Structure 1
Amino acid sequence: MLLWRKGKDHRPKVTLGITGWWSPRVHINGSVRHLKYRGAPESNLWKNRHPKRRNFIKERKFDILSLMNNAVGNLTWEQKSVIIGSVLGDGHLRKIEGRRFAFLEIQHSIKAKEYCEWKYSILKSICKSPPKIRKMDEKREVIKFQTREHPEIDEIYRQFYEGKKKVVPKNFILNPLSLAIWFMDDGSKSRGSIYLNCQQFDWKSQRRLLHALRLMGIKARMNKDKKYYRIRILKESTKKFLEIIKPYLHYSMFYKLPG
């Protein structure tokens, strides 16, 4: 057995193929990947079952590090966008003491069942089990699911949390899908105006969200809602806002759009 190591959290194991030394593989995060060699090995050793192949392959340098960077299990752009949009909205990242990585927990009202299941369909590859309905009390039911612990989710956790408090990181940039998820989670309409609820964030984080919207060409301002503040999209930017998010909206959330 040959071992390579990259950092503290990666210990890939290289084993030989079932048919002998012809097909070495690497095991990373539970997945099996066949290896390619650097350089062109001698033709006699490569094409034929030469008795010296065993020693030859042991001495070759496998391209392990580049393989690890592209290992199965890395988050897609779509998955990262859904996670970040959910963190801005109703989702929560959690990290259990003593565990290495954080995970995402999604919970919605039973009325948003289809929307929750749509989120799950995007994150399915990193989830433990499908969404489940929970009865909170006699009148309230919710649907929820959670992802597995994941190193890239842990990176997002470190950016968006200070202790148990949600924050928006400095120089934060929104993309259209994350904005759409945020709107579907915490957006609302009132008298023809669109609002994004961000009461869970402090003033500094709210200003960073405003800046991220302006970078997308959306004009908005803070609007006081009783004791707290939320973001109101200015009417002159409503059309621009809707053009950005509409391609990513789930049909069950169309009711949130202004008429």
Structure 2
Amino acid sequence: MAEADQLFLSDRARELYNGFTLKPEKSMMIVGSIYGDGSLLMDRKSRSPFFYENHCMEQLEYLKWKASMFGRPDGVRFRIMSHGYCKGKSIPYFQIRDRAFIDFEKMFYVVGKNGRRKKVVTKETLELLVGSALALAVLYQDDGEYDVYSNQAILNTCDFTIDENKIMERRFEELLRAPVRVKIKRQKYPRLVLSSKATDEFIKIVKPYVHPIMRYKIDQDISHYLDQQIVEKFRKNYRNMSKKQIAREVGLTLSETYIIGYRLGLTEHSGYVRYRDKPFTEQEKGYILKNYNESVAKLMAEELHTTTKYLRVLIHKMQANNLEEGKAGESICVQYNS
């Protein structure tokens, strides 16, 4: 584990963590876990909360690592789940009681109108998360996932309300200096989706604190996820063979072919829509402005190696600017939407 000072990402976070009884590393483990899969539970036998967390059997070593952070390397136990997606299965769990957890319980939990305790996001609790590299790493390992094709990290923050997620969105954008958006999964579950640029920065922050069995969540090399014969074919033929022909020969869609080419670093562009190798020329922009309509949008997008969504955005921008003569030579860059 790194020195404590290296774990802090803000002075305010350092100040907050130094106010706890627990050492900063343990406090960060608690904070990341509360935002993730862990909980502070109360019972009638004691006024002190106890920390509880369980995982699937495949993540046993990760849970043991957490237990060791609390000085309990042999503290993981097993039980048969009585409900949930693991119902009837044996799962590992870890729990520990400590009076020092009282401070965290007061900060992270409120009693709702139904009389039940629930986790909440406040300015201070969010700073404890975003201001700590270890806490962020724990959250990501607990409730994060990585989309290798879009190079996007996703934080499943559905324990919190949409409004709370919006607050988190803004603070993450401040930290990462790149777009972060709240997206709703299955019209019910909010989560934070990091842009490609934000993901690159986020992985740099959490990488030193990721447990070995969770390193697949920070592996950004798409070649590790593909058949190596496909990888070799891309590297050998991508620049001198038709993309449609490559797609047919390896059994992929044209869209997948362009994405993989981009993720393998075989395109020379930087910052454009993943399907294009260069910005639109003035001739192409004139062609789009003259001929675009919704009925031909799909064919035009395929012809120009872009997306229908971006064509609509481009048309709107050009019409808004009326293609002023003095701006005719300006290049309109195609932004890469991750």
TM-score range (shorter-chain normalised) is: 0.5 to 0.7
- For 2:199 and 2:181, locate their aligned partners in 1 and report how far apart those are by CA, in whole Å: 13
- Matched pairs, number: 185
Structure with greater proportional helix content: 2
Residues 134 and 144 of structure 1 are in contact (CA less than 8 Å); yes or no, is this contact kept in structure 2?
yes
Other-structure match for 1:236: 197
Other-structure match for 2:101: 153
Instruction: Please state whether the residue corresponding to 1:168 is helix, strand or coil.
Output: coil
Other-structure match for 1:15: none
**Structure 1: stretches of 5+ with no match in the other structure:** 1-69
1:110 aligns with 2:72: no
1:185 aligns with 2:145: no
- For 1:229 and 1:203, locate their aligned partners in 2 and report how far apart those are by CA, in whole Å: 6
201, 209, 217: which is aligned to 1:248? 209
- For 1:139 and 1:189, locate their aligned partners in 2 and report how far apart those are by CA, in whole Å: 29
Residues 185 and 191 of structure 2 are in contact (CA less than 8 Å); yes or no, is this contact kept in structure 1?
yes
Other-structure match for 1:135: 80
Instruction: Please state whether the residue corresponding to 1:201 is helix, strand or coil.
Output: coil
TM-score by length of 1: 0.66
Displacement, 1:160? 0.9
Displacement, 1:98? 5.6
- For 2:102 and 2:198, locate their aligned partners in 1 and report how far apart those are by CA, in whole Å: 34
Matched AA of 1:225: K
- For 2:190 and 2:146, locate their aligned partners in 1 and report how far apart those are by CA, in whole Å: 15
- For 1:85 and 1:146, locate their aligned partners in 2 and report how far apart those are by CA, in whole Å: 16
- For 1:114 and 1:98, locate their aligned partners in 2 and report how far apart those are by CA, in whole Å: 31
Matched AA of 2:98: E
Residues 161 and 190 of structure 2 are in contact (CA less than 8 Å); yes or no, is this contact kept in structure 1?
no
- 1:8-33 CA-partner distances (Å, limit 9, x unpaired): xxxxxxxxxxxxxxxxxxxxxxxxxx
- For 1:230 and 1:254, locate their aligned partners in 2 and report how far apart those are by CA, in whole Å: 21
160, 183, 188: which is aligned to 1:201? 160
- 1:87-128 CA-partner distances (Å, limit 9, x unpaired): 001001112236222121111111100000000010126x9x
TM-score by length of 2: 0.51
Displacement, 1:214? 2.7
- 1:145-199 CA-partner distances (Å, limit 9, x unpaired): 111232x311111111112111112242121100000000000122332100001
Task: Label 1:195 to 1:218 Cα distance change in 2 as closer, same or farther (>3 A).
Answer: farther
